[in-house]
Amino acid sequence: MANNISNDFELIKQYDKNYCMQVFAPLDVAFTHGKGVYLYDTNKKKYMDLIGGIAVNSLGHANKALTKTIKEQAAKLIHCSNYYYIAERSELAWRLTSQSCFDRAFFANSGAEANEGAIKLARGYFYHNGMNRYKIITALQSFHGRTLGTIAATGQEKFRKPFGPDLPGFEYVPFNDFETLKARVDGTTAAVMLELIQGESGVHEATMEYVKSVRELCDKLGLLLIVDEVQTGVGRTGRMFCYEHYNIKPDIVTLAKGLGGGVPIGCVLATEKVSKGFDVGDHGSTFGGNPLCCACANTVLDEINQNAILANVNDVSAYIMEELYKLKEKYPVIVDIRGKGLLIGIEFSQSIQASGLKQRLMNDGFLVGSIGTSVIRLAPPLIITKAEAGKFISALSKILKNSKGL
């Protein structure tokens, strides 16, 4: 019989340290429940969640429609094999292709799995067309996942070094440097794989000129353009897909995180032509496309499309950016503000340690992310209001006013 430890913080920590692989370094808190943009810990303290499960909880916590879908679908059918047709999967594929420039969808369980699928699809496309093209060019400081395939695609050595030798077939070039990328293309190159906003490097945007040049190069040389929208997709940047801001059409896009609103799902979207890179049996997933997760993703799309959530993202984003720039003028320790929509990076001077600031904000009831030593990342639920965001701005201003010791 399972022990109920959910309200005993010390026992939660003890069980974690004794029985979980220690691959995380959790902050000193555990949450019992949430509502909207707020989380509540074992001591009933309330926190504003401004990291949203790292851009996952797109509808916030305990969203009524999503909770209803989970209950109803779980009572009907949680899982069945991909040996059979699955209504929820078919509907989700139709909806995502209808709202994008793509024709086909494959469903997985995470962003890393989606990116693995995209890499396989790109290589399979050239294999099935009788060409020996396999190399994937990615950007330095990129992040595409933690599986062996996706760390090989990730342009940060720290993620690959303990698990070498690296899988072959990947090459890394500086982000936003088109001429270097162009020079690295050869007869074995299959695809260029990009994040349009590098979230894990500190929230850095690709420039319009760079993205358009890469798309034109791929068209000219017959390469595929893979856009990793695991973090930026499904409304995060104020459009359903970040690539829409650049007026381009990728060949493959990957999604995850916010698509399920908190349940695990990943997706590979591709054009009809490129989807031929997979033949029957070339790829699959036991849990991918299961009824429960697909039903949840359909509800997330309903909520985004029917409740003016994209308009809210743009409205609240403009407000946060405006207020952050006011703080930047007032406090020179803020050296840069970056991002789009509700994916925002705030970079501080060396006098401010991001980890210390994150802890101070948590002490005051605000949850944020930190990247490296100097960047605070915001990725709140897409339902956050200006009034709620204003509370964070006030708290940050108060801390910066008394920033000694951070």
SS3 category, 210: helix
DSSP summary character for residue 96: H
Structure tokens at 66: 């999503």
Q: Are the beta carbons of 144 and 228 closer than 8 angstroms?
A: yes
**251: annotated active-site residue:** no
Measure the CA–CA gap between 120 and 224, rounded to whole angstroms: 12
Within 8 A by CB and 6+ apart from 192, the residues are 136, 137, 138, 181, 214, 217, 218, 223, 224, 225, 226
DSSP summary character for residue 254: E
Measure the CA–CA gap between 62 and 67, rounded to whole angstroms: 6
Q: Are the beta carbons of 371 and 377 closer than 8 angstroms?
A: yes
Within 8 A by CB and 6+ apart from 79, the residues are 287, 290, 291, 292
Structure tokens at 366: 């605000």
Structure tokens at 386: 């200006």
Q: Are the beta carbons of 109 and 287 closer than 8 angstroms?
A: yes
Pick from 282, 257, 258, 263: nearest CA to 79: 263
Pick from 47, 211, 187, 79: nearest CA to 139: 211
**392: annotated active-site residue:** no
**257: annotated active-site residue:** yes
User: Of 135, 257, 340, 358, which one is the catalytic site residue?
Assistant: 257
SS3 category, 192: strand
Structure tokens at 375: 């960047």
User: Of 106, 143, 278, 392, which one is the catalytic site residue?
Assistant: 143
Q: Which residue has the tokens 């943009």?
A: 37
Measure the CA–CA gap between 156 and 347, rounded to whole angstroms: 20
User: Of 102, 228, 241, 348, which one is the catalytic site residue?
Assistant: 228
Phi, psi of 298, rounded to the nearest 5 degrees: -60, -40
Burial grade of 280 (CB within 10 A; 0-12, 13-18, 19 or more): exposed
Q: Which amino acid is at 274?
A: V
Distances (CA, A) of 290 to 55, 83, 119, 156: 22, 11, 22, 33
Which residues are identified as catalytic? Answer: 143, 228, 257
